[in-house]
Amino acid sequence: MKKNDFIYILILGEISAIFSIFVLKNLHYFPWFMWLLLVILPVLAVVAVFITSLIGKKVPTVFQLGKFASVGFANTAVDFGVLNILILIFGISGGVLYSLFKAISFSFSVVHSYFWNKFWTFRKKEVKQAGGEFLEFLIVSFVGLGINVVIASLVVNYIVAPIQISPNVWANIGAVFAVVASMAWNFIGYKFIVFKK
């Protein structure tokens, strides 16, 4: 693991922490010690990626997958953070507007994802074909968007939340299911279609 990798992971950890604080605020779970996320998440990210870098010495894809997971975690924090900011602002956590909020939040995370995955995860420095590459990235990401929004909307709008779960928590649970499915699709699409070598 290089010095730049260490710095990038710390930045991704901070991004994850900042947006996670918005999620927790919307869920009305914000004890004083939540500010520790600004320290805890970057440290955990460094440890996790360091472990994958050690394993990556024997199986290079593992280190790449570790970096992708770190970027993916930050993308998820951006996605959830923007979603929860919109829910906080408008007071809406279901229906058609929820689907619109989910599309907006996912779009923010896609832009974040492109730059981190291109230049750090897959180390694709060339810019001469950037237009075509970004178009491929958008196509893969929009398929991921479709998977993400459909799964989140199905969970939130068609599965009845258990009685003890608030609508805001249920909106985030729907987003969790969506993230898992779209992340799997995105890794495969980015590695083998967009950033292939």
Q: What residues contact residue 183 under an 8 Å CB cut-off, 6+ apart?
A: 72, 76
Reported pTM: 0.78
Rounded Cα distance, 193 and 177, in Å: 24
* Whether residue 128 has pLDDT greater than 70: no
pLDDT band at 130 (very low <50, low <70, confident <90, very high): low
- The 10s digit of each residue's pLDDT in 40-95 is 999 999 999 999 999 989 988 889 889 999 999 999 899 999 999 999 999 998 88
CA angle (128, 133, 134) in 5-degree steps:
110
pLDDT for 123 equals 83
Rounded Cα distance, 148 and 108, in Å: 13
pLDDT for 94 equals 86
Rounded Cα distance, 56 and 52, in Å: 6
Helices and strands in the chain: count of H runs, count of E runs: 6, 0
- The 10s digit of each residue's pLDDT in 86-117 is 999 999 988 899 889 988 998 898 889 988 99
- % of residues, the chain, pLDDT over 70: 97
User: CB 75: neighbour CB atoms within 10 A?
Assistant: 29
